Amino acid sequence: MNKSRRTFIGRSLAGAAAAISIPDLVSAAIGKPHRAPAVKIAPDDVVLFQGDSITDAGRNRDEQAPNNSRALGTGYAFLSAARLLREHTDSVKVFNRGISGNKVHQLAERWESDCIQLKPDVLSMLIGVNDYWHTLTGGYTGTLAVYRDDYRKLIDRTLTALPDVKLIIGEPFAVNHVKAVTDDWFPAFDAYRQTAQEIANEYQAAFIPYQRVFDEAARSVSPGYWTTDGVHTTLAGAQLMAEAWLNVIG
């Protein structure tokens, strides 16, 4: 591709991105832009983000204190926390304990120290893409039934220890035709998404339909603008996720 054509494409993409409104994209995807908030943040609440690499986002695991930019990574958890702290000051404490590569059973292995002991008032969980992806590339033999059962057991364990915790469940997502994600993922991966929503409904948790959000965004700007490989987000994709997360917060 010659330099002039690359410049033209770059300017065209930048122009399209500038013309879109991320809040409008999220509202269009979720379909209820004016609905009542599902989760209310109260003074002194502890907010915990949990999940895999999408939540981890390169955080410094040596930093354990809440509201620490290095501890929060560079993804949606950091961007969401920034808004929370702007609106609620330091009375709210925000932690990120996502770890790259994790599946549900690996969350369970570290749950006592990385969740229960932190005593979150709000627990946000985004988990599931590796429970499927690693069956394709990592030799993992877990099934959809294992994912469902492990997820329920983890929530039951959490509610036993923290009966008043407010739950947010993010939908695992995959953006097709961007590097790692191909037609081979579907329809099998869709069942993991549906299971996450079923669990959210079962436990009356707030649910974030990230797949719809990314699908809607991909109609406005190329999918590669939002995600680097179909799973991990660009900075714009992280902002998209943060806007969707904040959509369920009061």
Q: What is the pLDDT of residues 179-192, one digit of tens each?
A: 999 999 999 999 99
pLDDT score at 5: 44
End-to-end CA distance of the chain: 48
* CATH code of the region 44-246: 3.40.50.1110
Indicate the pTM of the whole model. Answer: 0.91
Q: Is the dihedral of CA 94, 96, 97, 98 positive or negative?
A: positive
Integer angstrom CA distances of residue 151 from 73, 103, 133, 207, 232:
24, 10, 17, 15, 22
Q: What is the dihedral of CA 35, 41, 43, 44, to 10 degrees?
A: 180
Q: For residue 63, what is the DSSP state? A: -
Q: What is the pLDDT of residue 9?
A: 40
> 229 an active-site residue?
yes
Cis peptide before 187 (omega within 30 of 0): yes
Identify the pLDDT of residue 88. Answer: 86
| Beta carbons of 46 and 95 less than 8 angstroms apart | yes
**Percent composition of the chain: helix, strand, coil (DSSP 3-state, to 5):** 50, 10, 35
The pLDDT value recorded for residue 31 is: 77
Q: Of these residues, 53, 121, 124, 131, which one is catalytic?
A: 53
Which pLDDT value is given to residue 11? 44
**Cβ atoms < 10 Å from Cβ of 32:** 8
Place of tokens 């109260």: 42
- The residues of the chain scoring below 70 in pLDDT are 1-19, 32-37
Q: Is 53 a catalytic residue?
A: yes
The pLDDT value recorded for residue 6 is 46
Q: pLDDT at position 7, please?
A: 45
